[in-house]
Amino acid sequence: MLNEAGYAGVIANNLEMLCEMLAQGAGLLIIAAEALRGANLEPLLEQLHEQPAWSDLPIVLMTHHGGSEQNGSSHLSGLLGNVTFLERPFHPVTLISLVSAALRGRRRQYEARDRLVDLSQSELRLQRTMETLEQQVEERTAQLRSNEEALRQSQKMEAVGQLTGGIAHDFNNMLTGIIGSLELLRRRVSRGKLDDLDSLIDLGVTSANRAASLTHRLLAFSRRQSLDPKPVEINKLVSSMGELLKRSINESIALDMRLSEALWTAEADPNQLESALLNLVLNARDAMPGGGSLIVETTNRHLDSVFTAAYGTLTPGDYVELSVSDTGCGIPESVIGRVFDPFFTTKPIGQGTGLGLSMIYGFTRQSNGHVTIHSVVGEGTTVSLFLPRFVGEVVAAETANPALLPYANAGETVLIVEDDPAVRILVSAVLKELGYAYVEAGDANAAMPIIESDQRIDLMISDVGLPGMNGRQLAEIGRQIRPELKVLFITGYAEHAAVRGGFLDPGMQLITKPFTFELLTAKVREMIKQ
Task: Judge contact between 351 and 306, C-beta under 8 A.
Answer: no
Residue 1 makes CB contacts below 8 A (sequence gap 6+) with 92, 95, 96
Rounded Cα–Cα distance for residues 214 and 205 (Å): 14
**Considering Cα of 46, then 51, then 53, then 57, what sign does the dihedral take?**
negative
Report which DSSP code applies to 277: H
Cis peptide before 231, with omega less than 30 degrees from 0? no
Q: What are φ and ψ of residue 14, in 5° steps?
A: -150, 175
CA atoms within 13 A on the CB side of 85: 17
Rounded Cα–Cα distance for residues 41 and 482 (Å): 104
Q: Quick check: helix, strand or coil at residue 7?
A: coil
Rounded Cα–Cα distance for residues 447 and 458 (Å): 14
Rounded Cα–Cα distance for residues 504 and 489 (Å): 9
Residue 325 confidence (pLDDT): 93
In b/e form, how buried is each residue of 123-140, taking b as 16+ CB within 10 angstroms?
Answer: eeeeeeeeeeeeeeeeee
Residue 264 confidence (pLDDT): 92
Task: Judge contact between 328 and 253, C-beta under 8 A.
Answer: no
Residue 296 confidence (pLDDT): 93
**Considering Cα of 399, then 405, then 410, then 413, what sign does the dihedral take?**
positive
Task: Judge contact between 182 and 201, C-beta under 8 A.
Answer: no
Domain 413-529 matching CATH 3.40.50.2300: the answer reads yes
Q: How many CB atoms lie within 10 A of CB 156?
A: 10
Q: How many CB atoms lie within 10 A of CB 168?
A: 10
- What Rg do the C-alpha atoms of the chain give, in angstroms? 46
**Considering Cα of 493, then 494, then 497, then 498, what sign does the dihedral take?**
positive
Residue 235 confidence (pLDDT): 93
Residue 493 confidence (pLDDT): 58
Rounded Cα–Cα distance for residues 204 and 180 (Å): 8
Residue 74 confidence (pLDDT): 64
Residue 166 confidence (pLDDT): 56
Q: What are φ and ψ of residue 416, in 5° steps?
A: -105, 120
User: Among candidates 78, 77, 95, 75, which has minimal Cα distance to 86?
Assistant: 95
Going from N- to C-terminal start, the domains of the chain cover: 230-388, 413-529
Rounded Cα–Cα distance for residues 285 and 277 (Å): 12
Residue 420 confidence (pLDDT): 83
- Quickly list H helices, 380-501: 421-434, 444-452, 471-481
| Local confidence pLDDT in tens for the 530 residues of the chain | 888 888 888 899 888 888 888 888 888 999 888 888 878 888 888 888 888 888 888 999 888 766 544 555 567 777 788 888 888 888 889 999 999 998 998 899 888 888 888 888 888 888 888 888 888 888 887 887 777 777 666 655 665 555 555 566 566 666 776 777 777 788 778 878 777 777 777 777 777 776 766 666 555 444 445 566 788 999 999 998 888 888 888 888 899 999 998 999 998 888 788 888 888 888 888 889 888 999 999 999 988 888 777 776 678 889 999 999 999 888 888 777 777 765 555 554 444 444 567 778 877 887 888 888 898 888 999 999 999 998 877 665 554 444 444 566 778 899 999 888 878 888 888 888 888 899 999 899 999 999 999 999 999 999 888 888 888 889 999 999 999 999 998 877 544 444 445 567 888 888 877 777 788 888 888 888 87
User: Among candidates 325, 323, 322, 259, which has minimal Cα distance to 292?
Assistant: 325
The Cα-based distances of 336 to 11, 276, 309, 331, 380 in angstroms read 90, 19, 21, 6, 13
Query: What is the 3 state secondary structure string of 464-477?
Result: CCCCCCCHHHHHHH
Residue 203 confidence (pLDDT): 75
Report which DSSP code applies to 497: G
Q: Quick check: helix, strand or coil at residue 211?
A: helix
In b/e form, how buried is each residue of 36-46, taking b as 16+ CB within 10 angstroms?
Answer: beeeeeeebee
Q: Which helix (H) or strand (E) segment is 303 a member of?
A: strand 292-303
Q: Are strands 508-512 and 487-491 parallel, antiparallel or unpaired?
A: parallel
Rounded Cα–Cα distance for residues 262 and 298 (Å): 10
Same fold, 230-388 and 413-529: no
Residue 204 makes CB contacts below 8 A (sequence gap 6+) with 177, 178, 181, 182, 185
DSSP character string of 327-380: -S----TTTGGGTTSTT--SSPTTS--S-HHHHHHHHHHHTT-EEEEEEETTTE
User: Among candidates 183, 215, 217, 214, which has minimal Cα distance to 201?
Assistant: 183
Rounded Cα–Cα distance for residues 220 and 222 (Å): 5
**Nearest 10 degrees: CA dihedral of 72, 77, 78, 81?**
150
User: Which CATH number is correct for 230-388, 3.40.50.720, 3.30.565.10, 3.40.50.1980, 3.10.150.10?
Assistant: 3.30.565.10
